[in-house]
Amino acid sequence: MKQAHLISFEGGEGCGKSTQARLLADWLEAQGVPAVLTREPGGTPGAEAIRQMVLDPPETGWSAEAEALLFAAARADHVARLIRPALAAGRWVICDRFIDSSLAYQGAASGIGLEQVRQLHVIGSKGLLPSKTILLDVPPHEAARRIKRRENQQTDAIEERSAAYHQQVAAAFRLLAQQEPERFVVIDGSGPISGIQEQVRFALRMLPGVEG
């Protein structure tokens, strides 16, 4: 059986990662590579319940510490019930956000600290990391334009945070990519969708189990 891989897509709001994750999963299936498309927070019934809690919080919302714990709990369930079993069965897992989102959002922008978030990941998910992480980097003005163009979709509690907060998130993602250049692939997300997908596939060409 060929080795299966966990591939994560990261980036700020409106970067296009959900679209690119879906396109990659479809392409892998077309190549005869079994793939599971999932997202965070979410992917399992328990994690989806937590997703609702963090994106539509009660009253004044969660503290930064409580939010970090909720994301870690959702990921722990996701990893245990979906991601690890899929990988063990030889299926690739394409994930719309993973640990690096927690590092950028809760660890950096919310002030919890990168090492604290990493420790939660070790406790909850045994430190699982993607084989490759695709970071789609989009200028803030372009991301804001894309969010406004979304039809019939309300913004969530995290999307509604200040521009300064989202700038911190973007800076944190870039720092994470600099710290782990072998895992991260940074792609300009402002180009044509098809061109971005070509770059994604090219970035994965050296992983075992990828052809074409």
For the chain, the DSSP string reads -PPP-EEEEE-STTSSHHHHHHHHHHHHHHTT--EEEEESS-SSHHHHHHHHHHHS-STT---HHHHHHHHHHHHHHHIIIIIHHHHHTT-EEEEES-HHHHIIIIIIITSS-HHHHHHHHHHHHTT---SEEEEEE--HHHHHHHHHH-TT----TTTTS-HHHHHHHHHHHHHHHHH-TTTEEEEETTS-HHHHHHHHHHHTTTSTT---
Percentage of the residues of the chain whose pLDDT score is greater than 90: 75
CATH class given for the domain over 6-203: alpha beta
Per-residue pLDDT tens over the stretch 13-50: 889 999 999 999 999 999 999 999 999 999 999 999 99
Question: Which pTM does this prediction carry?
Answer: 0.92
Poorest-pLDDT segment among 20-34, 86-100, 133-147, 149-163: 149-163
Q: Which residue ranges make up each domain of the chain?
A: 6-203
150 has pLDDT over 70 = no
